Structure 1
Amino acid sequence: MAVTASLLLSLLTPMLAHYTTRLAKALVRTVVAASVLLLLMPTTASAQNDIKIRDLTSAEGALPVRLVGYGLAVGLDNTGDRAIGGQTGGPTVQSVINILRRFNVEVPADLIRMRNVAAVLVTAEVSPFLRAGGRFEVQVSSMGDARSLRGGTLFMTPLVADPNGPPLASAQGSMLISQGGSTTRYQPTHETAARIPTGGVLEADLPRPTIAANSRLLLREPDLGTAMRIATAINGAMGEKTATVEDEGSVMVTLPDSVQKPVAMAKIRDLAIAPEARPRIIIDGRDGTVVAGGDMVVGAATVSHGAITLAIGNLAPNDTAAIPGSVRLPAGIAVQRVASALHAVQTPASEIAAIFAALREVGAVTAEIIVR
């Protein structure tokens, strides 16, 4: 790139001798600077799209630790668990009684009303390298018939990796609920699941894997092309035969005894490679959010699902008939425009996912469909 810029400057330098005014010289210098900037832009854009190896792989043995616990969400606005089977007893009532007993408070079960309390299941996934005192996000889900967890607070809940094992962490804090899309009778907001971004605290160190001379990098999404690019990048930075591809999901890294293993692995994981472009469409099954990577288009197809009929392609020039629930679009239209048209007629989130899955089955969409 520097050679190209120098060559351009050498070609334009004689032109400066023919200009006598400062304005003309400044104009030529501006043209030269703009040309050099245009030459540098593709390289910069390409570098920005590269992905580090640490984001594509995980070390062998570094399996995340999954934690679970049973707790209570308190402070609800009359939206908690109701009585089960018409009785005042139940797991939620018994849990409240057990908590009150810890504070030397005895309350009869028939005097407790649980409309502001809900029994919840607390789950989390933490890195095996997290030390005691580290914080992590927890997910909270209602186990009973509570209508909403909005505005509630999770009471301190022990978290275990094994139901018969000792508590490894605890969780508590104010619960956050995603607003999702607009709340309508077609797309009600889901309020029986919440999260606490930093609600979990690790209370004991976890067993951590060691860095050996021979370490495997496991691809989070196995792909032979990606594995080859990772090995090539490692060999270019650390020397030939440092990395070898074992299969689509594994790259073996062999480090010499003369190097410090943590430093070398940190350097390897910071290397960047060009990502493998994969056409994907991700659909949120709760609020109907559609995320499409790249400029993907939809071919001709007709899908009739429930009260919605989506017709793509084969449109007559004078076809202006407006049929309720009918969406008519030209062939070769972008995925984003199809999603916008479905949202415009208030298509439920579950039906949007089903329609795109049907388009994939008939070949109108070649991208992978992921519904979450």
Structure 2
Amino acid sequence: MIHINARILGAVALALVVVAPSAVLAQNDIKIRDLTAQEGAMPVRLVGYGLAVGLDGTGDRAIGGQTAGPTVQGVINTLRRFNIEVPADLIRMRNVAAVLVTAEVSPFLRAGGRFEIHVSSMGDARSLRGGVLYMTPLVADANGPALASAQGALLVSDGGAVQRYTPTHETTARIPSGGVLEADLPRPAIAAVSRLLLREPDLGMATKIAAAINGSMGEKTALVEDEGAVIITLADSGSKPLAMAKIRELAIAPESRPRLVIDGRDGTVVAGGDMVVGSATVSHGAITLAIGKVADNDTAAIPGSVRLPAGIPVQRVATALHAVQTPVNEIAAIFAALREVGAITAEVIVR
């Protein structure tokens, strides 16, 4: 009995070894909905002007009088809606800030749907932390009707506050689910012939998408128009929305692109794949990065000098630069220089 169980366990283990690689590959596939957008389904951008209240003395340095600024005038207009009249020359405040409110909404969102909004200071406020956005109408055009409204407690990101060489930005904030759509937006109709627009135009990816659609929906359903679009021809019978939903759920194997993404605020470096750095020397500001063969008897310890062997991973280079407290802007400039001289073949993106 023990020998039989051992054989069964061995067979199960072998099956897991055989199945595991294909399961991993399936998990890495990307659905077409994450790679494309339907033609005409462009997001609607909303904007509004409002007031952030409840600040702890970090708001705009607003003083009333003949030279009253937009913050004071905004408070006066708000109070007038409640039949409260306050002379402008009597207003002194530091707990209010004039802010610009922006948002991006899907055209398929219905009235009553919620979405995230972003708030940015327009005056000389030092911080929006702890503030609350007063109800603000949002419009798509400057002179258009209000399509949504926004309000709620402001959330300020800590950013790179834990790193002493990185400044903290507290004049921008966000409110998750702080916006409410008050009117339905014009929605694109699904025609018999439509297009899927690639979020990142690429001929190889467009070809893969068309092949996956034709393999599932039938030949000549999809045709590559160019690097940025795939034409979809749907049959007259059946439900077109269901057909598009099935197409968007199809999965394809992604194409690996060597990319190096650097966060412009806290210096975070994200490298895709096994990316290494070749021989190069970069001198930027007070930092000198030398990548190449290091002599065995080289014990020089020059302040601001970073010496690393060739073929080192990108993340180790980033770790070495962080260890000597290299400013974020210099880290981005150093990696961009390595890209220009050919030491890095990946695309460098600074955000």
Q: Which of 157, 161, 171 is the aligned partner of 1:178? A: 157
Partner Cα distance (1:131, 1:321) in 2: 66
Partner Cα distance (1:338, 1:39) in 2: 37
Q: Does 1:240 align with 2:213?
A: no
Query: Structure 1 stretches (4+) deviating beyond 6 angstroms?
Result: 84-88
Q: Which of 205, 211, 222 is the aligned partner of 2:201? A: 222
Partner Cα distance (2:64, 2:91) in 1: 16
Partner Cα distance (2:78, 2:200) in 1: 44
Judge conservation of contact 2:136–2:149 (CA < 8 Å) in 1. yes
Q: Does 1:78 align with 2:57?
A: yes
Q: Which amino acid aligns with 2:294?
A: L
Note the C-alpha offset of 1:75. 1.0
In the superposition, the TM-score normalised over structure 2's length comes to 0.96
The residue number in structure 1 matching 2:14 is 35
Q: Does 1:323 align with 2:289?
A: no
Judge conservation of contact 2:62–2:71 (CA < 8 Å) in 1. no
Segments of structure 1 that go 5 or more residues without pairing to the other structure are 1-21
Q: Does 1:370 align with 2:349?
A: yes
Note the C-alpha offset of 1:213. 0.6
Partner Cα distance (1:223, 1:211) in 2: 24
Partner Cα distance (1:184, 1:53) in 2: 39
Q: Which of 275, 286, 290 is the aligned partner of 2:265? A: 286
Q: Which of 176, 183, 195 is the aligned partner of 2:174? A: 195
Q: Does 1:126 align with 2:108?
A: no
Q: Which amino acid aligns with 1:181?
A: G
Q: Which amino acid aligns with 1:199?
A: G
Q: Does 1:50 align with 2:43?
A: no
Partner Cα distance (1:137, 1:197) in 2: 5
Segments of structure 2 that go 5 or more residues without pairing to the other structure are none
Q: Deviations over 1:207-255 (max 9, x none)?
A: 0000011011010101111111111111111111111111111111111
The residue number in structure 2 matching 1:205 is 184
Q: Which amino acid aligns with 1:251?
A: V
Q: Which amino acid aligns with 2:339?
A: R
Q: Which of 239, 249, 253 is the aligned partner of 1:274? A: 253
Q: Which amino acid aligns with 1:284?
A: D
Look at both structures and tell me which one has the larger radius of gyration over its CA atoms: 1
The residue number in structure 2 matching 1:142 is 121
Note the C-alpha offset of 1:88. 6.6
Tell me the secondary structure at the aligned position of residue 168 of structure 1. Answer: strand
* Aligned positions, number: 351
Judge conservation of contact 2:63–2:93 (CA < 8 Å) in 1. no
Q: Does 1:304 align with 2:280?
A: no
Judge conservation of contact 1:88–1:113 (CA < 8 Å) in 2. no
The residue number in structure 2 matching 1:23 is 2
Note the C-alpha offset of 1:318. 2.4
Judge conservation of contact 1:88–1:112 (CA < 8 Å) in 2. no
Tell me the secondary structure at the aligned position of residue 146 of structure 2. Answer: coil
Note the C-alpha offset of 1:184. 4.5
